Chains A and B, each alone.
Chain A
């Protein structure tokens, strides 16, 4: 596999520019990637989709059968190394599987929880014995895994868990007591990754077999969406777990939890783009079919504008996701084979991209919510009716902004992680912030040419300067107390998020233009232009609001005038560009790039 973004540290995109060739894009997929995607899609559409109604009706024996069938095809083993019965594929293959499973509606949760947060803790942090004991059965679907972190009293504050583990007198077993809440796959899982505090203090992960005495589950939860996934409380009553079942080290459970969350967030973003593409497909087809005033509603430009908006946002999320996938793959494969087996090293390699993982989670879930909302709107009254797929998609989308760390928590994490990296010297943020202050004072707005992407690149460059100004100002003003200023932090996170997405679409489109010329990359170019303009307006708004909150007097006036200089540009005609984007979507009745 080619090396992308080689040596780029997580978060480095804020300070450095990279060339398109250092970036992984969907246009770089290999034939094997395409075949893996096709097998997954065919399996989901032909085997899973016809059963969805029954699955939504909680006939979980079907979910279990389908998971086993998926296992036979290798769709559960992509992240499990060959020596433990898996297939050991690259990050992009496993990403494609996750994306295509989004077509399976709520069943994708059963698949995702099993292969992701259920299996990965053992892949990355298990001992040799644990790996040999569990992974072969998990990779084939003979056993199903679940992940039990959340408790009634601890959601975002995961470390506040109350479940306890006490070593028995013989020193052979830990005795677990407590209640875990909203556990996906709980109704049929054979293995649970459970977090508990040893002696009420040391946060620790355990592998708990479902058939252990004292393990039980509550009734199925009644949910707004994703009704086809099993969600129950896991009740642990004097559960004796052999001490060999401790995952990782006692007192180091948070390392596992946070690393698995990073991957979980990334995969959540992946699932969101899969679902968003489906919503576009369904909406474009419906808009062609539905006639009002004797015309298919796809002929009305307000409907076109919605479709184009949905596609442009999805394009940005997709470009960001696969770029991140390339980074993670590279980080993973730059480790030696020995290190790849060492959970701590793997965790560290992935944790380096914690910022990107959070960004993808937040951005992906918000794009999807936006997309399904417009999808319902395009369907009009029918979109409100349960027989229509978009009604389910709308309800299913909502949870994504909540689980795997709420979008609020993830927003706070982004600037916090950037600052921590800066303090540790991993990101030369402070150095650059100092030099840029002077530069900004002297700066004059530039004339931008009209070559493809020229304006977008100019805006991106300025967006990075805006980030420096706002983040630098926040760090100076609040110092250590910045963490109390959640609104400012969220604004910074939003600016960072849009910078990442804008850069991802620009580079992807630039790479495509270099490869096949501007004509064939027209749709990509149009979506890049439309997305960049929207994102840049958001950046400007967030920066202004943050500056006004933080600064006053002359200082504020100076900063606002710098901001004005940085944001000065001639807006493009997004209305006509959206119509052109929509023409393709309507013609092909699917998401096209």
Chain B
């Protein structure tokens, strides 16, 4: 079984976001594997351990993303691919889709896993976009995956309800929280990861033209949510408090 995992390097969820001149400052920030992609890596390793085969992790990003690929290798993935997108101007979800499409054109795959959404951009588009381009079936928000022969039974989270879907392979499935508990990269795993293959590919290697992968969207503005104001405690008789509250909701918060 050939399993591929799409993985993105993202800000650590603990990081504070700072914006300067419309750009997000990433100086000195800590980076991690997008947590949803981490579920995908864990699931891929478990499926491989049960059904055999190989796990390859793929990312689109700059050379810094090598660290996150190494982490996935340390968790137990077999090989890694880093697709460099630095030459692409204004890269967006479309650009990533084009690069991945070109990458997978040369590959044989039974299962492609990814995260449901990335915690930074939050578009949740890459999985479905890629499945569409590869003309394979996709299931999003998986909380359980069982493989039987050429079929995958996927339990997906639908706004709190569960839906069970059967699909035939090859398929692309994205992971939701609850799918599994990702393992820590063990120390022997970390040392082994050093020696596992990690291939870096650029646009030429994939035979993709810069212009063809240029982003289709334009970022108009970036801003942080307004800072939360301190709460107020109303005082006096209950009746008076209620009236005051209603008044504030109407005039101050303007929600009534």
Which A residues are closer than 8 A to B by beta carbons?
31-32, 34-36, 38-39, 42-43, 72-75, 77-78, 87, 89, 93, 588, 592
- Does the CB pair B28–A35 fall under 8 Å? no
Contacts of A39 in B (CB 8 A): 184-187, 190
Contact of B187 among A34, A42, A78, A588 (CB under 8 A): A78
Residues 1-32 of chain B, each 1 if its beta carbon lies under 8 Å from chain A, else 0? 00000000000000010000000000010000
Contacts of A43 in B (CB 8 A): 184
Q: Which residue of A lies closest to B184 (CB)?
A: A39
Contact of A32 among B28, B186, B194 (CB under 8 A): B194
Shortest Cβ distance from residue A584 to the other chain B in the assembled complex, whole angstroms? 10
- Does the CB pair A72–B186 fall under 8 Å? yes
- Does the CB pair A73–B67 fall under 8 Å? no
- Does the CB pair B70–A73 fall under 8 Å? no
> Can you identify 29 A-B contacts, CB atoms within 8 angstroms?
A31-B66, A31-B67, A32-B191, A35-B67, A35-B74, A35-B185, A35-B190, A35-B193, A36-B187, A36-B190, A39-B184, A39-B185, A39-B187, A39-B190, A72-B186, A73-B184, A73-B186, A73-B187, A74-B186, A74-B187, A77-B187, A78-B187, A87-B187, A87-B188, A89-B187, A89-B191, A93-B187, A588-B16, A588-B28
Q: For the complex, what is the distance from the CA of A73 to the CA of B75, rounded to whole Å?
A: 11
Question: Which residues of B (171-195) have their CB < 8 Å from a CB of A?
Answer: 184-191, 193-194
Q: For the complex, what is the distance from the CA of A32 to the CA of B194, rounded to whole Å?
A: 8
Q: Is B71 an interface residue (CB 8 A)?
A: yes
Q: For the complex, what is the distance from the CA of A89 to the CA of B187, rounded to whole Å?
A: 9
Rank and list the top 7 A-B pairs by shortest CB-CB distance, nearest first: A74-B187, A73-B186, A39-B184, A35-B190, A74-B186, A87-B187, A74-B188
- Does the CB pair A31–B70 fall under 8 Å? yes
Shortest Cβ distance from residue A10 to the other chain B in the assembled complex, whole angstroms? 29
Contacts of B67 in A (CB 8 A): 31, 34-35
- Does the CB pair B70–A592 fall under 8 Å? no
Known: A36-B187, A89-B187. 18 other contacts (CB 8 A): A31-B67, A32-B190, A32-B194, A34-B67, A35-B71, A35-B74, A35-B193, A38-B185, A39-B185, A39-B190, A73-B187, A74-B187, A74-B188, A74-B189, A87-B187, A89-B191, A93-B187, A592-B28
Contacts of A32 in B (CB 8 A): 190-191, 194
Q: Which residue of A lies closest to B16 (CB)?
A: A588
Which B residues are closer than 8 A to A by beta carbons?
16, 28, 66-67, 70-71, 74, 184-191, 193-194
Shortest Cβ distance from residue B227 to the other chain A in the assembled complex, whole angstroms? 13
Q: For the complex, what is the distance from the CA of A87 to the CA of B66, rounded to whole Å?
A: 24
Of B70, B184, B194, the most chain A CB neighbours within 10 A belong to B184
- Does the CB pair B191–A87 fall under 8 Å? yes
Contacts of A74 in B (CB 8 A): 186-189
Q: Which residue of B lies closest to A97 (CB)?
A: B187
Q: Which residue of B lies closest to A73 (CB)?
A: B186
Shortest Cβ distance from residue A480 to the other chain B in the assembled complex, whole angstroms? 49
Contacts of A77 in B (CB 8 A): 187
Contacts of A35 in B (CB 8 A): 67, 70-71, 74, 185, 190, 193
Shortest Cβ distance from residue A586 to the other chain B in the assembled complex, whole angstroms? 12
Shortest Cβ distance from residue B151 to the other chain A in the assembled complex, whole angstroms? 33
Q: Which residue of B lies closest to A74 (CB)?
A: B187
Contacts of B74 in A (CB 8 A): 35
Q: For the complex, what is the distance from the CA of A32 to the CA of B73, rounded to whole Å?
A: 12
Contact of A75 among B66, B70, B187, B194 (CB under 8 A): B187
Q: For the complex, what is the distance from the CA of A588 to the CA of B29, rounded to whole Å?
A: 10
Q: For the complex, what is the distance from the CA of A32 to the CA of B66, rounded to whole Å?
A: 12
Of B16, B66, B187, B190, the most chain A CB neighbours within 10 A belong to B187
Shortest Cβ distance from residue A41 to the other chain B in the assembled complex, whole angstroms? 10
Q: For the complex, what is the distance from the CA of A35 to the CA of B185, rounded to whole Å?
A: 8
Contacts of B28 in A (CB 8 A): 588, 592
Contacts of A93 in B (CB 8 A): 187
Q: For the complex, what is the distance from the CA of A184 to the CA of B194, rounded to whole Å?
A: 36
Shortest Cβ distance from residue B186 to the other chain A in the assembled complex, whole angstroms? 5
Q: For the complex, what is the distance from the CA of A74 to the CA of B185, rounded to whole Å?
A: 10
Contacts of A72 in B (CB 8 A): 186
Contacts of A588 in B (CB 8 A): 16, 28
Contacts of A87 in B (CB 8 A): 187-188, 191
Q: For the complex, what is the distance from the CA of A39 to the CA of B71, rounded to whole Å?
A: 10
Q: Which residue of A lies closest to B230 (CB)?
A: A291
Shortest Cβ distance from residue B3 to the other chain A in the assembled complex, whole angstroms? 22
Q: For the complex, what is the distance from the CA of A148 to the CA of B176, rounded to whole Å?
A: 50
Contacts of B191 in A (CB 8 A): 32, 87, 89
Contacts of A36 in B (CB 8 A): 187, 190
Q: For the complex, what is the distance from the CA of A554 to the CA of B174, rounded to whole Å?
A: 84
Shortest Cβ distance from residue A115 to the other chain B in the assembled complex, whole angstroms? 12
Q: For the complex, what is the distance from the CA of A75 to the CA of B184, rounded to whole Å?
A: 11
Q: Which residue of A lies closest to B74 (CB)?
A: A35
Q: For the complex, what is the distance from the CA of A75 to the CA of B188, rounded to whole Å?
A: 10
Of A31, A34, A35, A43, the most chain B CB neighbours within 10 A belong to A35
Of B188, B189, B190, the most chain A CB neighbours within 10 A belong to B190
Q: Which residue of B lies closest to A34 (CB)?
A: B67
Q: For the complex, what is the distance from the CA of A263 to the CA of B194, rounded to whole Å?
A: 28
Q: For the complex, what is the distance from the CA of A77 to the CA of B67, rounded to whole Å?
A: 24
Shortest Cβ distance from residue B182 to the other chain A in the assembled complex, whole angstroms? 10
Q: Which residue of A lies closest to B70 (CB)?
A: A31
Q: Which residue of B lies closest to A42 (CB)?
A: B184
Shortest Cβ distance from residue A525 to the other chain B in the assembled complex, whole angstroms? 16
